[in-house]
Amino acid sequence: MRILLLPGIWPPDVGGPATHGPDFARFLVGRGHQVRVVTMADDDVTDRPCAVETVSRRNPFPIRYSVLAARAAQFARQSDVVYVSATYAAAAAATVAARRPLVAKLVSDPAYERAYRYGLFRGTLEEFQSAGGAAVVGLRRARTLALSRARTIVVPSEYLARIARGFGVDPARVLVVPNPAPDVPPSRQEPRPGTFVYAGRLTRQKALGIAIDAVALVPGARLVVVGDGPERAMLENRALRAGLEGRIAFLGAQPRERVLEELGSAWASVLSSDWENLPHAAVESLAVGTPVVATSVGGVPEVVHDGANGLLVAPGSVDAFAEALQRLADDPALRARLAAAAPPSVAAFSRDRVYGELERLLGEAGGT
């Protein structure tokens, strides 16, 4: 097949979607497909498993989005199918112009993300689906219009599937395909005593301040933060105010291999998000044999099972999060039991199995 990928972000950008794009492209190339990527970027991309075309984010949004749609249409005409994981309106316009089928992967509700980013809505994802206000309603309608072009809408969790089936698209087109576990053996290194690791984007959604304040309440605990994002400066200041100087390290964006090494060296990874779908970081942590301490939001409980391969707490509570971290610090047997159960718990999320299913769906849409 000739496949066009529209991922929105790409390394050196960080986060689950930035990991997914090049990893899936590499899988498809290895399977003999012709793959091209069109994405937005601040600078030159750092991972090229196939041809990658970039549109500069330095241009104002209306200009760069229009350029992205035009380039996507150009390359869509040379493709059998288009796979989009962001920039859904541009993908819809491009595939209409090129008369090519579209498969969309959702990692969240793009209308909700935009409304939250611009301060138009501050409630939950569930509340957003029925909220009033012209701007909010307009964002929901634009989202549904773009997604209605997709032959298949892939979501990583049953949680998001339930929400997406209420968007106004054909519910039968919404299919659950989980995020893949990395194809690596569980870590055999001895975890660093008292070390917890966060890996991912530093955004408001992740509510990492909760984890930072919680670590400050656990004597001897240390936090390693791998990733970057708009909240970094604020979080660094928060760590200083919490008295964590010398007990917290902000490593910035790192290659995936380094991310997995850091996760494998931790007592546990932490995820204190206010809302989530099914985070790549949780799956990666479990795959390398590291338990997860997370808030029980969105699709997280579908992969992190309280008392089995990690610990779940209610969102927004520093004390509850600190209590969970302290449990691991006080109970080596609990840590060992959770760690032993972690890799088997994501065995069904193998890279070949998940990407093989996505490849099949692309083939069906493209008529091959």
Distances in whole angstroms, Cα of residue 287 to Cα of each of 49, 68, 334, 342: 23, 35, 18, 7
List the chain pLDDT tens, one digit each, 368 residues.
999 999 989 998 887 788 899 999 999 999 999 999 999 998 789 999 999 999 999 999 999 999 999 999 999 999 999 999 999 999 999 999 999 999 999 989 999 999 998 999 999 999 999 999 999 999 999 999 999 999 999 999 999 999 999 999 999 999 999 999 988 877 667 889 999 999 999 999 999 999 999 999 999 999 999 999 999 999 999 999 999 999 999 999 998 889 999 999 999 999 999 999 889 999 999 999 999 999 999 999 999 999 999 999 999 999 999 999 999 999 999 999 999 999 999 999 999 999 999 999 999 999 87
The correct answer on CATH 3.40.50.2000 for the domain covering 2-180+350-366 is: yes
Task: State how far the Cα of 303 lies from the Cα of 50, in Å rounded to an integer.
Answer: 31
- Identify which of 117, 108, 60 has the alpha carbon closest to the alpha carbon of residue 88: 108
Task: State how far the Cα of 261 lies from the Cα of 270, in Å rounded to an integer.
Answer: 15
pLDDT of residue 360: 97
- Identify which of 1, 13, 42, 16 has the alpha carbon closest to the alpha carbon of residue 273: 16
Same fold flag, 2-180+350-366 and 195-347: yes
pLDDT of residue 5: 98
Topology (CATH) of 195-347: Rossmann fold (3.40.50)
Domain boundaries, the chain: 2-180+350-366, 195-347
Query: Encoding tokens for residue 284?
Result: 């990666």
Task: State how far the Cα of 17 lies from the Cα of 8, in Å rounded to an integer.
Answer: 8
Instruction: Look up the pTM and report it.
Output: 0.89
